[in-house]
Amino acid sequence: MDMANLRVGVIGCSGIGTTHASGIVGLPNVELAAGCDFVQSTLDAFKEKYQDNWDNISLYTNHQEMLAAENLDVVTVATSDHRHADLVVDAANAGVKGIFCEKPMATSVEDADRMMEATERNGTILSIDHTRRWQPLWRHTHDVIVGGGRIGDVQYVIGTLSGGRAMLFRNGTHLVDAICYFADSEPEWVSAELEDGYEDYNEYKGDGGHVPATEPSAHGYIHFANGVRGYYAGGPKTTLSGFRVEIVGTNGYILISDKGATLHQDDAVETIEAPSWDMTGIPAGVRELVGLVAEGGQPVSPGSEGYKVVQIIIGFLTSQQRDNGKVKLPLSGG
Ligand SMILES: NC(=O)c1ccc[n+]([C@@H]2O[C@H](COP(=O)([O-])OP(=O)(O)OC[C@H]3O[C@@H](n4cnc5c(N)ncnc54)[C@H](O)[C@@H]3O)[C@@H](O)[C@H]2O)c1
| Ligand 1 lining (C-beta closer than 6 Å) | 11-12, 14-16, 36-39, 42, 63, 78-81, 83, 102-103, 129, 131, 170, 208-209, 282
The pLDDT tens digits of the residues spanning 264-284 come to 999 999 999 999 999 999 999
The domains of the chain are located at 6-131+280-302, 133-277+310-328
How many angstroms separate the alpha carbon of residue 79 from the centre of ligand 1? 3
Mean pLDDT for the chain overall: 97
Question: Of the residues 41, 89, 102, which should be mutated to test ligand 1's pocket, given the most ligand atoms within 8 Å of the CB?
Answer: 102
Q: Determine the residue of 10, 16, 67 to mutate for testing ligand 1's pocket, defined as the one with the most ligand atoms within 8 A of the Cβ atom.
A: 16
Ligand 1: centre distance to CA 234 (Å)? 23
pLDDT band per the 50, 70, 90 thresholds, residue 333: confident
How much helix, strand and coil, in percent to the nearest 5, is found in the chain? 35, 25, 40
Residue 2 pLDDT? 47
CA-proximal residue: ligand 1, atom 23 (nearest): 12
6-131+280-302 and 133-277+310-328, same CATH topology: no
Average pLDDT of the residues in 322-327: 98
Q: Which of 243, 323, 268, 309 is nearest to 101 (CA)?
A: 309
* Residues 126 and 115 sit within 8 Å (Cβ to Cβ): yes
pLDDT tens-place string over residues 125-142: 999 999 999 999 999 999
Matching CATH number, 6-131+280-302, of 3.40.50.1370, 3.30.1490.20, 3.40.50.720, 3.40.50.150: 3.40.50.720
**Per CATH, which fold does 133-277+310-328 belong to?**
Dihydrodipicolinate Reductase; domain 2 (3.30.360)
Closest residue by CA, ligand 1 atom 11: 78
Q: Per-residue pLDDT averaged across 305-332, rounded?
A: 98
| 3-state secondary structure (DSSP) of residue 161 | strand
- Quick: pLDDT tens for 27-38: 999 999 999 999
Report the pLDDT averaged over residues 243-257: 98
Phi and psi (nearest 5°) for 145?
-80, -55
Give the tens place of pLDDT for each residue, 39-97: 999 999 999 999 999 999 999 999 999 999 999 999 999 999 999 999 999 999 999 99
Model confidence band, residue 334 (pLDDT cutoffs 50, 70, 90): low
